[in-house]
Amino acid sequence: MYKKYNTNQTTLPLELSALLPQDHLVFVIDEFIESLDWSAYPLFEASEGRPGYHPRLLIKALLFAYSEGIFSGRKMEKMMLENIAMMWLVSQETISYRTINRFRSSLFCQNLLPELFAEFAAKLKTENMVTMETLFVDGTKIEANANKFSFVWKKAIERYKASLKEKAMQYFKEEIQPLVDQAMQIDDSDELSTAELEEIATIIEQEIQDLSSDIEANPVKGKNPKKQRRRTLKKHLRKLVNDFIPRKKKYAAYEEVFEDRNSFSKTDTDATFMRMKDDYMQNGQLKAGYNIQIGTENQFALAVGVFPNPTDTRTLIPFVDSLTILPKTIVADAGYGSEENLDYLDQIDVEHLIKYNAFDKEQKRSYKSSDKNRKNWEYVAEENYFVHPDGTKYYFSHISRKKNTSGFVQIIHVYKPTNPEEAPQKSFNYNWHYEELKEQETSKLLSPEGSRIFAQRKIDVEPVFGQIKANLGFTRFHLRGKEKVKVDIELALMANNLRKYNLRKAS
């Protein structure tokens, strides 16, 4: 005995929402997007042609698709035909994948996503899910949507450029200059600029035209040396036009793209080659990617930043600058504990619990009793010298200033012994300001309250990256260019936020 069925019979209910569980995610997405004040967003409305889809409909579709681990525009379009929840969310419209992709890459979407994060943070605060007082900051590297073999390295370009500079000047002096009748004025520098190379090419073209006119006006029987000279000039012209000038322009364009980076991808010039954690071949292969920084509370991503530099140290200041509301306290791991970062947070009056690189090492019993620990050295302030545990005195020698790429200057005091040959070490550097900052940070981190808050970091910010990578399958970007990549990760994080909010609300 089997249960009877009829696929051609009309059935009720016709309302799609009745087919979905009451706690389905699409209801949360719909409620959140519809609650926004859309009068603040200037919408483009065409006076002719078919009316466009409202951005509310498109952003809802994107958020739900991302929450299901769907990132392809074609698959989103397919969801609108087959997925009941998506059909209800978009009012049974079937939006072309081209429209979805254009909206996702649009300037409107780039401006909308940060507003969604601000509105969602306000909603969480109203419902007492976050306090907006403590922000846990961490970063991860995600592979760019770029060919892994499309790399351009700064050192290689500098080497090629130097070689081109030498070859071009030598070629001009030995091959071109003796053949050209017209005088050429070039700078006294040891390098030919692109404009000078183009000027040389123009002069050679004119020489070739004059020779051609002369050959036609005065034909010669047998071997004509003017024809040989014309062939030689044409060869030199091809060398300039097809080799020297394009390479010169290409290297100049590459230098503009590099800025302060050491590499970039030809496929996505905003992406930088960096080491990824998911190095399955264990060969240290570099991949084009972005450094993603997020700030979380209660495992909700409240802020996100996209950076091309592989290290976290130089991302903290621009990330904090991008925050619309500054928290009372910022918590981060050792990758952010530079002198510049700690000093900056003090200047803007933001409390911080940030480990510096040597913090864990300094807490070990072996280090506390070691001669390398400066706390075990005696310091005589009146004469400004340190005394090593073995009795060697290190006197102040001079001040060294180190300037990093962001312009921050470290003031380092250099101390040297009177007898360097017999001393345990010939000299050592001491940054008084940084040591004072580290002392303050250590005191806060080792306090009961500081230890409790810092321990929260591992279970607050780090799981968010695991959720979008493992649960949503977001392990590689789907758009190219820094601004579009930011939209891509913001959609993934907001989708994860809404999933988390829905689960907690249901429980």
Contact 210, 229 (CB under 8 A): no
How far is CA 367 from its chain centroid?
36
Query: How far are the Cα atoms of 15, 101, 136, 241, 265 from residue 355, in angstroms, in the given order?
Result: 55, 42, 13, 56, 33
Higher per-residue confidence, 122 vs 3: 122
pTM over 0.85: yes
- Whose tokens are 């087919």? That residue is 19
Q: Using DSSP, state whether 9 is helix, strand or coil.
A: coil
Q: Using CA atoms, how far apart are residues 76 and 64, in angstroms rounded to an integer?
A: 9
| Helix count and strand count (H, E) for the chain | 18, 13
Q: What is the pLDDT of residues 353-377, one digit of tens each?
A: 999 988 999 889 999 889 888 889 9
Q: What is the pLDDT of residues 75-117, one digit of tens each?
A: 999 999 999 999 999 999 999 999 999 999 999 999 999 999 9
Task: Give residue 481's pLDDT.
Answer: 93
- Mean pLDDT across 326-351: 94
Q: What is the pLDDT of residues 23-38, one digit of tens each?
A: 999 999 999 999 988 7
What's the number of CA atoms in the CB half-sphere (13 Å) around residue 219? 2
Contact 124, 325 (CB under 8 A): no
Q: What is the pLDDT of residues 162-219, one digit of tens each?
A: 888 888 888 888 777 777 665 555 555 677 888 888 888 888 888 888 888 888 888 8
Q: Using CA atoms, how far apart are residues 264 and 196, in angstroms rounded to an integer?
A: 29
* 283 confidence band (pLDDT: 50, 70, 90): low
- From the CB of residue 299, how many other CB atoms can be counted at a distance below 10 Å? 19
Query: How far are the Cα atoms of 37, 53, 104, 506 from residue 61, in angstroms, in the given order?
Result: 19, 11, 11, 22
Task: Give residue 6's pLDDT.
Answer: 75
Alpha-carbon torsion angle 112, 118, 122, 127, nearest 10: 80
Return the DSSP state at 374: G
- Which positions ≥6 away from 144 have C-beta within 8 Å? 265, 267, 268, 271, 287, 288, 289, 290, 476, 477, 480, 485
Which residue ranges make up each domain of the chain?
16-105, 131-145+290-481, 151-265
Among candidate residues 32, 56, 46, 68, the one with its CA nearest the CA of residue 112:
56
Angle between helices 432-446 and 339-347 (to 10 degrees): 70
Encoding tokens for residue 166? 């030498």
Q: What is the pLDDT of residues 5-25, one digit of tens each?
A: 677 777 666 788 888 999 999
- Mean pLDDT across 277-296: 80
Pairing of strands 329-332, 134-143: parallel
- Which positions ≥6 away from 196 have C-beta within 8 Å? 186, 187
Among candidate residues 459, 477, 489, the one with its CA nearest the CA of residue 289:
477
Classify the phi-psi angles of 299: left when phi > 0, otherwise alpha if psi is within -120 to 50, otherwise beta: left
Q: Using CA atoms, how far apart are residues 413 and 430, in angstroms rounded to an integer?
A: 5
Concatenate the DSSP letters of all residues of 182-219 into one string: S-----SSSS--HHHHHHHHHHHHHHHHHHHHHHHHS-
Cis peptide before 13 (omega within 30 of 0): yes
